[in-house]
C-alpha cells in the first residue's frame, strides 16, 4: 500500500548495512532494480535464497500503513527456506519490531519504518486453495520454474493487481517453460515493467573457482549448463502471451501473397504473420517447428515444374522462407518465387 507519509522511502542500502548483509554484485543489481516484476535465472549456490530473503525483508520494512506479502515455494520446505532466512534476519537485528509471530501458520507481523503493520506469510504452491482471495503488495517465488504455469497465472499474479504489487521470481532453469517466458519478457526492453537476469554460479565471488570446475568435469554437459550456467535448455512449448505460438492450430503450410513478409514477435522473437499471429506450429509429437512457408505461388507451369523438382528422389530440400528449416516434397503444387 502507499506510504502513510509520502515523503518516507526505504533506503535499501542502509537497511542491508544495518542487517550486516553485503550483497555481491549480482545480488546488488537485483536489489537496485525498480522494475515492478523481476525475474532471476541463476545457477546453484549463486545466493538466490539470500537475495530473496533480503528483498522480502525490504518489502516488510517499507513505510506504509499496512502491507501483506507472500514467500512462495513449490513445497512448504522450499518456501520455509526463504521464510526462515527472513525470520533469522529479523531476530538478529529487528526483534524489537516483531508484533506477532505464528510459527504454525508460518506468519510474521512487523512494525515497519513508518509505524504501520507489515505481514509476511510462507505459502506452498502445492496447496492452491491456500493461494486464493487476498490482495498482495508483493510476492517472492523461490524455485519458480518448479511451479506449474497455472499456479502463477491463476493464483499468484492476480493477487498483485489490486495494489499494483511487485514480484520477484527466482529459480534455476528447468527447460523452456513459463518461467523462461517470464525471463525473456525482461530481456532487451520487451516489457517496461519487467527486468531479468541470467546469473551463472561463478558470478558469485564467494564460490571458489575450483569447485565450479570440479563440477564441470564431473557432470554431463547439459546438466552443468542448466544447474551451474543457468541456461534454458530444450525447446519451448509454452504458448507466447503475445503471438500465441507455438500453436497446434497453425496450418502445416502458410502461403504468403506477393509483397507480404513475416514479422517478428516482440516477446518471443519467433516469426509471425501480418496480423501478429504465430507461424510456429506445435506438432502432434509435442515439438514446435516453423510451419512450411510458401512465398507466393507462381504460374501453373512453374508450379508443375517445381513440384516435379521437389518430388525427384534424392532432391535437396529447399527453404523458400530462407529461415533455415528443410522443406520437403509434400508441398507439391506450389513454387518458390525468386
Residues of the chain with pLDDT under 50: 2-3, 300-338
pLDDT of 269 reads 73
**pLDDT score for 293:** 66
Question: pTM of the prediction?
Answer: 0.76
267, 185 Cβ separation under 8 angstroms? yes
pLDDT in tens, 1-22: 544 555 568 999 999 999 999 9
Euclidean distance between CA atoms 261 and 27, whole angstroms: 43
Quote the pLDDT of residue 47.
Answer: 96
* Average per-residue pLDDT for the chain: 83
Can the peptide bond before residue 246 be classed as cis, meaning omega within 30 degrees of 0?
yes
Burial 143-167, CB ≥16 within 10 A → b, else e = bbbbbeeebbeebbbebbeeeebbb
Name the percent of the chain lying above pLDDT 90.
59
What are the pLDDT digits (tens) for 143-184?
999 999 999 999 999 999 999 999 999 999 999 889 998 999
pLDDT reported for residue 5: 55
Catalytic residue from among 55, 119, 143, 195: 143
Examine the residue annotation and report whether 222 is marked as an active-site residue of this protein: no
pLDDT at 23: 97
DSSP annotation string for 55-79: HHHHHHHS-SSEEEEEEEESSHHHH
Amino acid at each position: 500500500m502507499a506510504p502513510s507519509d509520502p515523503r518516507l522511502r526505504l533506503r535499501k542500502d542502509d537497511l542491508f548495512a544495518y542487517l550486516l548483509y553485503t550483497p555481491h554484485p549480482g545480488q546488488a543489481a537485483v536489489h537496485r532494480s525498480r522494475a515492478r516484476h523481476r525475474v532471476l535465472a541463476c545457477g546453484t549456490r549463486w545466493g538466490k535464497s539470500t537475495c530473496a530473503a533480503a528483498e522480502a525483508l525490504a518489502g516488510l520494512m517499507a513505510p506504509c500503513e499496512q502491507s501483506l506479502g507472500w514467500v512462495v515455494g513449490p513445497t512448504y520446505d522450499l518456501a520455509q527456506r526463504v521464510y526462515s532466512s527472513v525470520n533469522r534476519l529479523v531476530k538478529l537485528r529487528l526483534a524489537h519490531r516483531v508484533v506477532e509471530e505464528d510459527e504454525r501458520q508460518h506468519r510474521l507481523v512487523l512494525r515497519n519504518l513508518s509505524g504501520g503493520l507489515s505481514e509476511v506469510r510462507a505459502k506452498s504452491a502445492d496447496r492452491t486453495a491456500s493461494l486464493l482471495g487476498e490482495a498482495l503488495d508483493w510476492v517472492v517465488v523461490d524455485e519458480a520454474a518448479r511451479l506449474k504455469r497455472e499456479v502463477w497465472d491463476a493464483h499468484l499474479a492476480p493477487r498483485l493487481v489490486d495494489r499494483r504489487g511487485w514480484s520477484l521470481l527466482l529459480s534455476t532453469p528447468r527447460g523452456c517453460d513459463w518461467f523462461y517466458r517470464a525471463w525473456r519478457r525482461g530481456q532487451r526492453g520487451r516489457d517496461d515493467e519487467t527486468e531479468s537476469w541470467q546469473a551463472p554460479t561463478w558470478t558469485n565471488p564467494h564460490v571458489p573457482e575450483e569447485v565450479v570446475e570440479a563440477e564441470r568435469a564431473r557432470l554431463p554437459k547439459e546438466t552443468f549448463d542448466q544447474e551451474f550456467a543457468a541456461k534454458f535448455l530444450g525447446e519451448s512449448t509454452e504458448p507466447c502471451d503475445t503471438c500465441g505460438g507455438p500453436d497446434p492450430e497453425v496450418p502445416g503450410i502458410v502461403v504468403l501473397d506477393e509483397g507480404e513478409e513475416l514479422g517478428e514477435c516482440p516477446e518471443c522473437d519467433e516469426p509471425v504473420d501480418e496480423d501478429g499471429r504465430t507461424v510456429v506450429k506445435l506438432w502432434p509429437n509435442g515439438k514446435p517447428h516453423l510451419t512450411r512457408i510458401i512465398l507466393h505461388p507462381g504460374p501453373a507451369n512453374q508450379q508443375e515444374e517445381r513440384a516435379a523438382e521437389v518430388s525427384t528422389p534424392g532432391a535437396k530440400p529447399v527453404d523458400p522462407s530462407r529461415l533455415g528449416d528443410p522443406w520437403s516434397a509434400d508441398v507439391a503444387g506450389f513454387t518458390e518465387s525468386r
